[in-house]
Chain A
């Protein structure tokens, strides 16, 4: 069960959001447990993921360990097929590990049933995909609003927070547009707004700039920088060194094993 205390219901918009000071959502504070600072947001212990069985088994992850503390900005790099997407999917509770433990905010995910995992995904994690994954034929507003509907947020609060989130990503004027009426960069910004609208403890992004041009890439990365500076925890996959350079910490995935790359920001 997810304790209510670790499910912050307010503070959607980071305080440093430019031009956003008048939004009521910002004036709220995130309730924290006294010991919360000591609990890592992510704590992965000897986690493995194997696809298939016997001779055809593929070891995507081999007994990896990873600890991410609150407020860290971690970039995961590695060649395609190295297992970095598998890692992120497991961190996002979209997939389950074959063995090993995964503690999210101190909770062992394996102990949770499907209903509880869906609550966890809803409240604790904001996931951003390479292919945006907006719901087709549905407006940007409805897409951003969606996770709050599943969270049971009242309609009026949803409207406020959706507008604030779209404003934050610079798409306040496009809330009625459908995904096919938006550019790739705009769609990804809608996806970012959707990921942070529930103010999750953790933002996970799988190659968020992989399908974007340079200008849109810069927009999205600046958003991440802003979120990071407000204390948001971010784990991001990229194969682009320029993107990785913005992170506090770079983790290299190679052949299913993790290693730290030091001195990126010396």
Chain B
């Protein structure tokens, strides 16, 4: 008999038992869909967060004030000191900190930015030119402000891309024009490249960058610094630079207990490390859940295939009594398994891919992992074919009378 006839038998048998066929397929569909979606979610989250980290800036260290922790710190709360310009100057001393390349003191304030009738509230960040590389900010048009402008306290500003388009209107180049920041006129010398959603935890596109001296004179006053960005000479000496910062600031802040500092160092490498370890835990968790879904799906397929073949042992007996060779019986059941598994695999992949198009809250997307799709499909179909084929093979080798006696 031809393979076409066997194919016809297989299709006829599948159609004759629609419910059973559907149930078998359901196991495969759920398994494959779950694996695709869960791995895509893990992958999407991972890419989203690593984008965020790249937006933080390269090998710089941020020094920020914090309340001392622990009982000693709580008791000595009054002795906690904010960061000052004098701290920044001390860190820039090449004797005490030979591995520090630059120091960028940072002050920031919320201010109203106005041009003509347009006005909005943005964060104004005052610093030195080193702040640009340190914060991973790139100038898209115009230029950054210079050290000379910082020294002279010139009223110049570099606008974030959102600020530029909101205040001056989209498509207008604001370079050379004047904005009012809390009623003080600033000349716009540049516009920053957009960092988009991945550009940091606060939206860097709605910041205005200006020389620290100007911001202090017009907005914040000459008080404390919000943070100090410190750049190491190279990433190789980053650790050395960090310990120099600790020793200088510990001395200046009278810190005796390293666990009780009134400031902290945050490096992007540190953040990346923490986030990466969190991410790999998350990915592992999702992969685990996906694996379990595949396992459960596989057990479902196994069950229904075993039941389906066992239930049809009598039919196999009849076919054998009518002269079906063992190979034809085996081929029919194998083809049934392959059709079911492949069809269900296709549907599962389709549903899985369709579901990853659903937009998710928080601005990240599920990104399909092709390897996971292939593994899921291969495993599910493999299970379907093996557990459909194995009992069929056993049944095809029974003596017809033994197969016929099964009820």
Contacts and interface: CB of A to CB of B under 8 A. Distances in A.
A6 to B, nearest CB: 15
B326 to A, nearest CB: 6
B315 A118 contact: no
B404 A94 contact: yes
A96 B399 contact: yes
A127 interface: yes
Given A115-B325, A137-B17, A95 B1 contact: no
Most buried by A among B1, B317, B321: B321
Most buried by B among A89, A114, A150: A150
Most buried by B among A92, A114, A134: A114
Contact of B324 (A127, A134, A150): A150
Contacts of A232: none
Contacts of B17: 137
Contact of A94 (B314, B324, B327, B401): B401
A237 to B, nearest CB: 14
A196 interface: no
Given A89-B401, A138-B16, A152-B1, A146 B325 contact: no
B323 interface: yes
Given A95-B401, A121-B321, A194-B322, A115 B16 contact: no
B322 A122 contact: yes
Contact of B399 (A95, A146, A152): A95
Nearest to B9: A149
Interface in A122-179: 122-123, 127, 129, 133-138, 142, 146-147, 149-152
A150 B1 CA distance: 5
A114 B73 CA distance: 89
A94 B397 CA distance: 12
Given A133-B318, A135-B318, A142-B12, A150 B401 contact: no
Nearest to B323: A122
B328 interface: yes
Nearest to A153: B1
A92 B318 CA distance: 12
Given A119-B323, A137-B16, A142-B12, A149 B1 contact: yes
A7 to B, nearest CB: 11
B348 interface: no
Given A95-B399, A149-B1, A150-B1, A121 B323 contact: yes
A202 B9 CA distance: 27
Most buried by A among B2, B325, B326, B397: B325
A118 B325 contact: yes
Classify chain B's interface size.
20 to 34
B27 interface: no
B261 interface: no
B190 interface: no
Interface string A2-27: 00000000000000000000000000
A114 B330 CA distance: 14
B322 A114 contact: no
Contacts of B12: 138, 142
Contact of B319 (A114, A123, A146, A198): A146
Contacts of B152: none
Contact of B322 (A95, A136, A146): A146
B379 to A, nearest CB: 31
B126 interface: no
A119 B322 contact: no
B400 interface: yes
Interface string B395-407: 0010111001000
Given A150-B324, A150-B325, 19 more contacts: A94-B320, A94-B321, A94-B400, A95-B399, A114-B326, A115-B325, A118-B320, A119-B325, A122-B322, A122-B324, A123-B323, A127-B321, A133-B317, A133-B321, A133-B404, A134-B318, A135-B315, A138-B16, A150-B319
Q: Which 9 interchain pairs have the tightest Cβ spacing?
A: A122-B323, A137-B16, A94-B400, A118-B325, A94-B401, A95-B401, A121-B323, A147-B322, A150-B323
